[in-house]
């Protein structure tokens, strides 16, 4: 059931990302809806299918993005798995876990993308990138984290109605 509903949810996420979210930048940064959805699902799903969601979401995003697919996939997998780990073993507050995972996931994603650009000999000023791209993206992701967490929690309750969520 969880995997079945992942397709429409992640497809809608990709469509919203490319048509709406990417068109609403803050300075040069933009939010990553997929990363936030996967983090929220990782917290709610307790690690059962979050990694499958990450693979499906990563594949969908790599179709529309010019970023190499492996660089799209790695942060999503790390986010989905670490969301479950952080939630169940370290953090007792899922909202706090959500925010921490969003921050870590965004930073990891940007580090990988900067490394890719460096690898391709593209000149850049890292301080400018941090100020113009990474920090604004982080802010947007944190703004979206809470509403998406609530939305995904409701979907989680619908998928696993017998369980109690925090």
Partner 1 sequence: MKSLPPRAIQIIVGSFIIFGILLLALAGILRPILGVIMDPFVAIQHWSSDRVMAIVDFFTLPREVTDLLKKNVDLEDEVSRLTSQAIQQAGQLSEAQVLYSLLDFARARPQFQYVASAVIGRDPSPFLRYIIIDHGSDDGIRHGMPVVTQQGLVGRIDAVIANASRVQLINDAGSTIDVRMQTLKQEAQLIGSVTGDLTLQMIPQDLELNSGEILLTSGLGGNYPSDLLVGQVASVNKSENELFQTASVQPVVDFSTLQAVLVITNFKSIDISPLIPTQSP
Query: Where do contacts with partner 1 occur on this chain (CB under 8 A)?
Result: 15, 17-19, 21-23, 25, 28-30, 32, 34, 61, 64-67, 110, 113-114, 117, 120, 122-124, 128-129, 132-133, 136-137
19 and 131 in contact (C-beta within 8 Å)?
no
Nearer to partner 1, 48 or 118 (CB): 118
Nearer to partner 1, 34 or 152 (CB): 34
CB of 155 to partner 1, least distance (A): 21
Q: What share of the chain is helix, strand, coil (3-state, %, to 5)?
A: 80, 0, 20
- Report which of 116, 99, 104, 96 is spatially closest to residue 76, judged by C-alpha positions: 104
CB of 132 to partner 1, least distance (A): 5
CB of 162 to partner 1, least distance (A): 35
CB of 123 to partner 1, least distance (A): 8
Note the helical H segments in 65-93: 69-85
Q: Count of CB atoms within 10 A of residue 153's CB?
A: 19
């Amino acid at each position: 059931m969880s995997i079945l509903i992942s397709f429409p949810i992640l497809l809608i996420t990709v469509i919203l990302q490319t048509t709406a979210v990417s068109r609403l930048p803050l300075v040069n940064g933009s939010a990553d809806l997929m990363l936030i959805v996967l983090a929220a699902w990782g917290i709610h799903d307790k690690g059962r299918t979050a990694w499958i969601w990450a693979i499906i979401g990563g594949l969908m995003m790599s179709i529309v993005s010019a970023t190499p697919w492996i660089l799209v996939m790695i942060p999503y997998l790390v986010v989905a798995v670490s969301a479950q780990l952080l939630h169940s073993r370290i953090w007792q507050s899922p909202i706090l876990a959500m925010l921490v995972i969003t921050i870590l996931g965004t930073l990891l994603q940007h580090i990988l993308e900067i490394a890719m650009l460096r690898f391709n000999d593209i000149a850049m000023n890292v301080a400018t990138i941090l100020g113009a791209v990474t920090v604004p993206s982080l802010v947007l992701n944190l703004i979206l984290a809470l509403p998406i967490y609530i939305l995904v929690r409701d979907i989680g309750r619908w998928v696993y109605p017998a369980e109690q969520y925090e």
